[in-house]
C-alpha cells in the first residue's frame, strides 16, 4: 500500500513516516520545508534503510499536487501539512485560514479526482476549546475556538464530515491529539522549530543547551495545582503509531467509515511538572521565569482515551520522564546535522 504523507518531513510527519515504513507501507512525502529541513529525509533513511520519494511542494499549488497524486497511484493520504502555532495564528489569522483550510480542500479535490477514498487528518484537542468537564471525550461539543489555529481545525473537521456525508467515496478518521513531545529513540529525528519555539519542550531544550537565555512560563495564576497550565503530553513515537493504526483501520474497513478519535495519555501535567521532570531525568537546572498568559491559551485539558483503545487498539506507553529524556538526546544531536543560531 502506498501512502502519501503531507508535511512528511515535519515533526509528527517524519515520525509517522518511520512507523509506516516499519509496517511495510510505501511512503511518498510532500512538504514545502516551511517548518522542517531537508536533512530529515536522510535521517529517515538512516533509521529505516528506505528513502521515501520526496516532493518539495506547497499544497496551495493544486495543479502540481494533483499531478503528484496521479503519478504515484496513492492508496491513502495522511494530511499533516498545516501551520500550527496558536500564538502566531492570533497575530496572523488570514495566513492560518488560507493555508490550513485551502490545503485540506486541495487534498480532498485531488482524492476525488483520482479515486482515493482513505484519509487520516491531523486534528487537535484545541477543537474542544476550554471543556466544561475533564477528561475531555469525543462526545464533548466544540466550544468557541480560542485561536484561529483552533478554528481552522474545527472548520477542517466539519469539511471532512460534510464530504464524507455527501457520498460513499471518502473514509476518514480525524485524530484529535494533545501535546506531542519527545523524539525518536534513535536520536535522529525530533521537534525542529524554525526560529523562536512556540511549544514548551523545544523551548526547554534550547534553554538547557544555551541557545535561549531563559525559559518563559506563560501564566502562573491559573486555578490549577501549581498555577501553571495543564496539558496532556504524549510521546511522539506513541502518536506516530496511532496514525499507522488509523490508516490501517481505514484500509481494512469493508464499509464507509468516518470517525474522530482523541490521541493522548489521559494524564494532565502542569508546565512546572514538565520542567521538573526534564531537570530530574537529565540532571540539569533550567533558568526560567513567569510571564503574562498568552492570548489563545486555555487553562487545562487532558483526554479521555477509551475510544482510541476500543476503536484503534492503541494506547500510549511512554512516560513523561521518557519524553523528557528523549527530547534532550535529540537537542544534543541537532548540532551534528546543522547549526542553530
Please list the active-site residues: 149
CB 6 within 8 A of CB 36: no
CB 270 within 8 A of CB 179: no
Residue closest to 220 by CA, chosen among 279, 285, 277, 288:
288
| Residue written as grid cell 493544486 | 62
By DSSP bridging, strand 2-6 and strand 233-235 are unpaired
Cell (9 digits) for 237: 513515537
Angle, helix 93-113 to helix 62-72, in steps of 10 degrees? 40
Query: Within the chain, what is the greatest distance between any pair of CA atoms?
Result: 56
How does 20-47 read in b/e, with b if 16+ C-beta sit within 10 Å? bbeeebbbbbbbbeebbbebbbebbeeb
Angle, helix 11-22 to helix 236-251, in steps of 10 degrees? 60
Cell (9 digits) for 263: 490521541
The size of the chain, in residues, is 341
Q: Is the dihedral of CA 223, 224, 226, 228 positive or negative?
A: negative
Q: Distance of alpha carbon 50 from its chain centroid, rounded?
A: 23
Q: 3-state SS string over 280-319?
A: HHHCCCCCEEEECCCCCCCCECCECCHHHHHHHCCCCCCC
Cell (9 digits) for 244: 499507522
Amino acid at each position: 500500500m502506498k501512502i502519501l504523507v503531507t508535511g512528511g518531513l515535519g515533526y509528527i510527519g517524519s515520525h509517522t513516516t518511520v512507523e509506516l515504513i516499519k509496517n511495510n507501507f510505501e511512503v511518498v512525502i510532500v512538504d514545502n520545508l516551511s517548518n522542517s529541513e531537508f536533512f530529515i529525509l536522510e535521517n529517515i533513511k538512516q533509521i529505516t534503510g528506505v528513502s521515501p520519494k520526496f516532493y518539495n511542494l506547497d499544497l496551495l499549488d493544486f495543479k502540481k499536487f494533483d499531478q503528484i497524486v496521479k503519478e504515484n497511484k496513492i492508496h491513502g493520504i495522511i494530511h499533516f501539512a498545516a501551520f500550527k502555532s496558536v500564538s502566531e495564528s492570533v497575530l496572523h489569522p488570514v495566513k492560518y485560514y488560507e493555508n490550513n483550510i485551502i490545503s485540506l480542500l486541495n487534498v480532498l479535490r485531488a482524492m476525488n479526482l483520482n479515486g482515493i477514498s482513505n484519509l487520516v487528518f491531523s486534528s487537535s484537542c484545541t477543537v474542544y476549546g476550554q471543556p466544561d468537564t475533564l477528561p475531555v471525550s469525543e462526545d464533548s461539543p466544540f466550544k468557541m475556538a480560542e485561536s484561529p489555529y483552533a478554528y481552522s481545525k474545527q472548520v477542517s473537521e466539519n469539511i471532512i464530515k460534510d464530504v464524507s456525508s455527501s457520498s460513499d467515496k471518502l473514509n476518514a478518521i480525524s485524530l484529535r491529539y494533545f501535546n506531542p513531545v519527545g523524539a525518536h529513540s534513535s536520536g535522529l529525528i525530533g521537534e525542529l522549530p524554525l526560529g523562536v519555539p512556540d511549544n514548551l519542550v523545544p523551548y526547554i531544550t534550547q534553554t538547557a543547551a544555551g541557545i535561549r537565555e531563559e525559559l518563559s512560563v506563560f501564566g502562573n495564576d491559573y486555578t490549577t495545582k501549581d498555577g501553571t497550565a495543564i496539558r496532556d503530553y504524549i510521546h511522539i513515537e506513541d502518536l506516530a503509531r496511532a496514525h499507522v493504526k488509523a490508516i490501517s483501520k481505514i484500509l481494512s474497513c469493508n464499509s464507509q467509515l468516518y470517525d474522530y478519535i482523541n490521541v493522548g495519555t489521559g494524564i494532565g501535567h502542569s508546565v512546572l511538572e514538565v520542567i521538573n521532570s526534564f531537570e530530574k531525568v537529565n540532571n540539569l537546572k533550567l533558568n526560567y521565569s513567569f510571564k503574562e498568559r498568552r492570548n489563545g491559551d486555555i487553562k487545562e485539558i487532558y483526554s479521555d482515551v477509551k475510544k482510541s483503545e476500543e476503536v484503534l487498539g492503541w494506547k500510549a506507553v511512554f512516560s513523561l520522564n521518557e519524553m523528557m529524556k528523549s527530547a534532550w538526546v535529540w537537542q544534543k544531536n541537532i548540532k551534528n546535522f546543522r547549526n542553530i543560531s
